[in-house]
Amino acid sequence: MAPIVSVENVRASYGGTVALDGVSLEIAEGSSFALLGPNGAGKTTLVNILCTLRRPQGGRALVAGNDVVRAARRARRSIGVVFQNSSLDDRLTARENLDFHGLVHGMPARQRRLHIQRVLELVALTDWEDEIVRTFSGGMRRRLEIARALMHEPKILFLDEPTVGLDAQTRQQIWEHLDRLRTERRITVLTTTHYIEEVEGADLVCIIDHGKIIAQGSPEALKEAHGRRWLQADVSDTATRQAILAHYPHAQPLGPRSIVAPVGSLEAEHLQRGPFADKVTEIRYREPTLESVFLSLTGRDLRDRTDGEKEAQLAEGRRGGHR
């Protein structure tokens, strides 16, 4: 069976900065695909290309058999998108937001009415269809955005940081809805996220860094091939963190007051009895997880953001198109 998404040697750049450097991947129909990478790795650029918001400067991308450049309109009919930043009109009701989306996609009035009821039921918002969106909680808005993305019955759902800013319980509820939708409607789901634990159950995980794919496979295969056991130490201040990093060459920074190091290169007793003992507030071991795979491959924690990295991500989003 042909893949529902096919990317062949895709390249893109902004000025002299390479965003994608010959990226190739395939996504099977009905699968759950996770795209992970540090800020500025090229995730947003790739998603924008697949959503027809940006043209690649080389290579080829097919979505549901449609070239995203030569058949962009047909490709758009096959996709639904949930952007990281809300694009709902909060002055309208839930039903009105969905109705407008259906109009944009050329759906007849009767079809729109049927689909509105169907997608609201799927995301458990039927009782709020006539409520103004500005009264909704963050979780309700996210569910409405998912409902809107499903209005025109897409084959592929693109989710760009779908649960960012939501509490843990709401994030879990969102993923329960998405898992049910994928099972019931055989929708292919491509997700980018900073919450690695949310994609532990994905069929395929792709890790991208500096515009290149550095690893891909099932979560289990990635953990077996690249997973390592890490020692994490939290310290009382940034100066101590910097001193530990200078003293132990295999240690890496993790946030402003933590370090991590592969087990074997640094052990707990080194810190408990060494010159930094009185500055270490907690020591713990991290077992092989997707997060440890990511750390091993990139040398960075996925959620370890500096202000400069946040600015770079915002700049990439502005250049790549509306998110």
Q: What is the predicted pLDDT for the residue at 303?
A: 52
Break the chain into its structural domains and give their ranges. 5-223+311-320, 229-287
pLDDT range class, residue 301, cuts 50, 70, 90: low
pLDDT range class, residue 103, cuts 50, 70, 90: very high
pLDDT over 90 (residue 308): no
Q: What is the predicted pLDDT for the residue at 1?
A: 63
Please give, one letter per residue, the 3-state secondary structure of the chain. CCCCEEEEEEEEEECCEEEEEEEEEEECCCCEEEEECCCCCCHHHHHHHHCCCCCCCEEEEEECCEECCCCHHHHHHCEEEECCCCCCCCCCEHHHHHHHHHHHCCCCHHHHHHHHHHHHHHCCCHHHCCCEHHHCCHHHHHHHHHHHHHCCCCCEEEEECCCCCCCHHHHHHHHHHHHHHHHHHCCEEEEECCCHHHHCCCCEEEEEECCEEEEEECHHHHHHHHCCCEEEEEECCHHHHHHHHHHCCCCEECCCCEEEEECCCCCHHHHHHCCCHHHEEEEEEECCCHHHHHHHHHCCCCCCCCHHHHHHHHHHHHHHCCC
Average pLDDT over residues 153-179: 84
pLDDT range class, residue 300, cuts 50, 70, 90: low
Q: What is the predicted pLDDT for the residue at 124?
A: 87
**Lowest mean pLDDT: which of 28-32, 175-179, 235-239?**
175-179
pLDDT tens sequence across 107-134:
999 999 999 999 999 888 999 999 999 9
Write out the two tokens for 177.
């809805």
Q: What is the predicted pLDDT for the residue at 254?
A: 85
**Lowest mean pLDDT: which of 88-97, 132-141, 171-180?**
171-180
pLDDT range class, residue 309, cuts 50, 70, 90: very low
Highest mean pLDDT among 94-103, 152-161, 236-245, 250-259: 94-103
The whole model's pTM is what?
0.75
Q: What is the predicted pLDDT for the residue at 302?
A: 56
Average pLDDT over residues 76-87: 89
pLDDT averaged over the chain? 87
pLDDT range class, residue 23, cuts 50, 70, 90: very high
Q: What is the predicted pLDDT for the residue at 139?
A: 87
What percent of the chain clears pLDDT 70, i.e. is strictly above it?
Answer: 92
pLDDT range class, residue 313, cuts 50, 70, 90: very low
Average pLDDT over residues 56-71: 96
pLDDT over 60 (residue 322): no
pLDDT tens sequence across 247-284:
998 898 888 899 988 888 888 888 888 888 999 999 99
pLDDT over 50 (residue 232): yes
Average pLDDT over residues 59-74: 96
Fold of 5-223+311-320: Rossmann fold (3.40.50)
pLDDT higher for 170 or 153? 153
pLDDT higher for 106 or 274? 106
